[in-house]
Amino acid sequence: MATTAPLVLLLPLVLLLLQARWSSQQQQQVVTAVIVFGDSIVDPGNNNGLHTLIKANHPPYGMDMLNHEATGRYSNGLIPTDLIAQQLGVKQLLPPYLGVDLSPDDLLTGVSFASGATGFDPLTPVVVSVISMDQQLAYFDEYRGRLVDIAGEAETARIIEGALFLVCAGTDDVANTYFTTPFRSAEYDIPGYVDLLVGHAEEFLRELVVSSRGARRIGFVGMPPVGCVPSQRTLGAASPPGPASPSETRRRCCTTPGPRR
């Protein structure tokens, strides 16, 4: 599912990147770090050490990385947050927070707490045993403490204030928790479930902004066309085999599967 998602999200992420670069050039501000929360689209390998089937540390993932190494990124190569960190001049690769030996420079310039297959719905990470969004916030609090140990409180505050925070989640809530399992579709219709997700997303952003965590610049990435990702096209394939017309291709990629009741 996740291998094509970075391509779908390319436009909004590029716009975010261009806005950040313009802001930096016009206001002489520097992005001090890139700090990421979310799902497989922005997970560089946090799932590698988890007891879950949702991992990308094996072929064919990573076939275009150095030495064709599968790092845990759900991609043949880089993921969008790597490209953003590069273009902002922060670092070449944005590392996972878990499972790797992070140098002081790694920590000072940002990490990703994202976990493939998680979501805003608290049930989503439980179903597949991955890291919840709340746990990602807890890891951020731990991370901030490590920054203080390295650089002191004042420098940590400066880094956090100048960091670009990215939040990318929601796809797995819709594609997996709602449409693939019976847990939520039996309880909510689609508008009701959307309201549930929006409420949890709002709460998450509030925790970043209103709490003492200090986030100032946040990029919030919307969901791609869920019906276009490979897993959903496979699970919901109702059309006959063979090439589709251009109009049929657009229809398939721009709609989500209906509820299975």
DSSP state string for 136-196: HHHHHHHHHHHHHHHH-HHHHHHHHHHPEEEEE--HHIIIIIITTSHHHHTT--HHHHHHH
Residue count (the chain): 261
Which residues sit opposite 217 in a β-bridge? 164
CB 218 within 8 A of CB 209: yes
3 state DSSP class of 74:
coil
The C-alpha atoms of residue 156 and residue 33 are separated, in whole angstroms, by 11
3 state DSSP class of 56:
coil
Asked about 40 being catalytic, the answer comes back as yes
Given the residues 24, 40, 132, 231, the one annotated as active site: 40
Amino acid at 59: P
CB 93 within 8 A of CB 169: no
3 state DSSP class of 43:
coil
Q: How many degrees, rounded to 5, is the angle at CA 7 between CA 69 and CA 34?
A: 70
Closest by CA to 17, choosing from 87, 68, 102, is 87
Burial of 190 from C-beta contacts in 10 A (0-12 / 13-18 / 19+) = middle
Please identify every residue annotated as catalytic. 40
